[in-house]
């Protein structure tokens, strides 16, 4: 009686965003399938029609219980959920509280608040250790004294097949300085290294297999003339116009990354963002004094910086080869050059290529002319500018999105439905994309890095970008706290891997035909099914086909 009258529950897919201040109209999702080494998530929404009750315990009853994690979907504020000219594929446009952070549930349990829909995020991750079969999962709520208030049930079937290794290269820019700032740590102190490793591990667990590596302080999202905290992995000693280099910190970084499953290294940009006009901030020891030797005052193509690069880059290449990561190393010139930056970028690129031409040099940009003229061999066009690159069959093509990709294409702002986040995996599969870049794994500063923000309170980089663009993890006391957006993004990567597995069984053309069966138009980066049920049903269909064929 108490369950029926006071606590209502509803089992939902991971694609529903449950808002506290609106009625829950989403359809129930009570069963699903997963492959043996997959991570599967669903939600239990609940509504408490009584005075607030604290210390409510959440219990899991299932043979899979050792591999099930339950977190509470927390609400975080958004003052700037979107731009004024947003498209219509959003959930709401008003400022307010949005479901995003996945808070761990401690021994005290949760608090039931009156007349609000809230939800629990349930993650099933057997890591290949559970036998194929169908398993019941019961999530129950009870008082401190053990009285059950209500429950919800889900049925998951583990299929006898495994996702193949992820071949897509994925980077979300890793902001080492933000970790030091938010945890109030000295850069590259032992505690800072500990935190760095925690955040790297969480990134890798969610399909991020390339890490932005700060040779020097990355010249990213920094106001002209401004500075970000120094996070330079390479020690520099300057003696007149001669330089020597120490790579001990870089070696430690590489070792930590490799030990935690990182596969690729993306060395930070060698010239400033939006034009390649200046050098990044570089500090060196000169006559025993540590000081800045390059920065905004440095002409990117001036003789002084060219002389520095002529000495540094050969030594870096030597270090890379000595450590056996030459096949894992990628470089950048300057981020997001526009066509009016063409000559500056070309000059900077020519300097770098003298020493690094054997490595992939890639940059986020959207003008095809950079590739067409050979100035960039490895372009990373935005998802809303990729069509020209696809039409011209650019090999090993990457793509990216950031705040500017908010019309039609996939993205993951707070106010966007989760299927708009997850569909990216299907798109990356269809167009055989080699890599994906997003700039905000943990950017916890204001726009242009003018001041630090509290990501639990400020989610739009100080009214700089729509909430959800700048970070997908929060700085928890015990380490990173994931967002539902990061989990859903990873589900999209798992979809991509499942499609690749099916391709091995029936061929690529047959997989694409299966994907687009019944659709009015082929899937592109801007045209795709917008219904959450389509993604869920598509994945179930793919899983059933894999199960049918895998044993043959």
Q: Which tokens hold the place of 348?
A: 């900077």
Taking residues 417-441, report their average pLDDT: 98
Could you report the per-residue pLDDT of 322-354, keeping only the tens digit for each? 999 999 999 999 999 999 999 999 999 999 999
Q: What are the structural domains, with CATH classification, of the chain? A: 2-159 (2.60.40.10)
pLDDT at 385 over 70: yes
Confidence (pLDDT) at 552: 54
Q: In this model, does residue 2 exceed pLDDT 50? A: no
How many Cα atoms sit within 13 Å of 460 on the Cβ side?
20
pLDDT of residue 3: 46
| Closest among 177, 248, 246 to 214, alpha carbons compared | 177
pTM over 0.85: yes
Express each pLDDT in 479-490 by its tens digit. Answer: 999 999 999 999
Phi and psi at 531, nearest 5°, equal -90, 130
pLDDT confidence tier of residue 74, bands split at 50, 70 and 90: very high
Judged against a pLDDT cut of 90, whether residue 544 lies above it is answered with yes
Give the residue ranges of DSSP H helices in 77-229.
176-182, 190-205
Residue 551, pLDDT > 80, answer no
- In the prediction, which pLDDT does 1 show? 33
Q: How far apart are the first and last CA of the chain?
A: 50
Contacts by 505-508 with C-beta closer than 8 Å and gap 24+?
505/545, 505/546, 505/549, 505/550, 506/545, 506/549
The predicted-structure confidence for 100-158, as pLDDT tens digits, reads as follows 999 999 999 999 999 999 999 999 999 999 999 999 999 999 999 999 999 999 999 99
Using pLDDT thresholds of 50, 70 and 90, give the confidence band for residue 550: confident
User: Can you say whether the dihedral through the CA atoms of 445, 447, 451, 456 is positive or negative?
Assistant: negative
Average pLDDT over residues 510-531: 97
Average pLDDT, the chain: 97
SS (H, E, C) 36-78: CCCCEEEEEEEEECCCCEEEEEEEEECCCHHHEEEEEEEEEEE
**Angle at alpha carbon of residue 61, lines to 55 and 65, rounded to 5°:** 100
pLDDT confidence of residue 5 = 78
Distance CA 486, CA 73 (A): 13
pLDDT of 4 = 52
Confidence tier at 443 by pLDDT (50, 70, 90): very high
């Amino acid at each position: 009686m108490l369950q029926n009258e006071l606590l209502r529950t509803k089992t939902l897919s991971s694609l529903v965003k449950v808002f506290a201040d609106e009625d829950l109209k989403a359809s129930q999702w009570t069963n699903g399938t997963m492959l043996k080494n997959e991570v599967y998530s669903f939600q239990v929404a609940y509504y408490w029609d009584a005075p607030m009750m604290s210390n409510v315990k959440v219990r899991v009853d299932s043979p899979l219980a050792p591999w099930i994690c339950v977190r509470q979907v927390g609400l975080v504020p958004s003052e700037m959920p979107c731009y004024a000219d947003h498209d219509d594929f959003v959930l709401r446009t008003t400022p307010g509280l949005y479901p995003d952070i996945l808070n761990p549930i401690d021994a005290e349990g949760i608090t039931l608040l009156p007349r609000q829909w809230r939800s629990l995020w349930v993650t099933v991750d057997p890591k290949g250790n559970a036998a194929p079969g169908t398993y019941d999962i019961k999530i129950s709520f009870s008082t401190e004294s053990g009285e059950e208030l209500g429950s919800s049930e889900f049925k998951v079937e583990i299929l006898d097949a495994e996702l193949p290794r992820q071949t897509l290269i994925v980077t979300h820019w890793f902001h080492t300085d933000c970790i030091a700032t938010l945890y109030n740590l000295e850069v590259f102190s032992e505690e800072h290294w500990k935190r760095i490793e925690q955040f790297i591990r969480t990134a890798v667990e969610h399909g991020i297999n390339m890490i932005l590596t700060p040779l020097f302080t990355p010249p990213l999202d920094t106001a002209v003339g401004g500075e970000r905290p120094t996070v330079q992995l390479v020690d520099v000693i300057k003696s007149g116009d001669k330089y020597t280099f120490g790579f001990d910190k870089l070696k430690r970084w590489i070792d930590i990354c490799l030990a935690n499953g990182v596969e690729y290294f993306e060395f930070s940009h060698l010239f400033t963002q939006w034009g390649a006009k200046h050098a990044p901030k570089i500090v060196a020891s000169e006559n025993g004094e540590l000081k800045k030797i390059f920065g905004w005052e440095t002409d990117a193509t001036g003789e002084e910086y060219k002389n520095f690069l002529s000495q540094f880059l050969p030594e870096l290449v030597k270090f890379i080869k000595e450590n056996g990561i030459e096949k894992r190393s990628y470089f950048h010139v300057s981020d997001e050059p526009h066509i009016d930056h063409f000559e500056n970028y070309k000059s900077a690129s020519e300097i770098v290529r003298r020493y690094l031409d054997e490595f992939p040099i890639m940059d986020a940009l959207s003008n095809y002319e950079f590739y067409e003229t050979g100035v960039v061999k490895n372009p990373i066009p935005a998802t809303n500018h990729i069509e020209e690159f696809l039409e011209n069959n650019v090999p090993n093509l990457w793509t990216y999105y950031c705040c500017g990709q908010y019309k039609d294409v996939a993205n993951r702002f707070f106010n966007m439905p989760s299927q708009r986040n997850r569909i990216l995996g299907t798109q990356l599969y269809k167009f055989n994309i080699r890599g994906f870049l997003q700039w905000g794994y943990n950017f916890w500063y204001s726009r242009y890095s003018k001041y630090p923000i509290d990501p639990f309170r400020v989610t739009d980089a100080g009214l700089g970008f729509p909430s959800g663009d700048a970070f997908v993890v929060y700085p928890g006391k015990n380490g990173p706290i994931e967002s539902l957006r990061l989990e859903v993004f990873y589900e999209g990567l798992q979809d991509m891997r499942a499609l690749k597995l099916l391709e091995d069984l029936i061929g690529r053309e047959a997989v694409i035909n299966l994907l687009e069966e019944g659709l009015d138009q082929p899937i592109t980066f801007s045209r795709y099914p917008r219904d959450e049920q389509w993604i869920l049903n598509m994945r179930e269909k793919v899983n059933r086909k894999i199960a049918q064929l895998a044993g043959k």
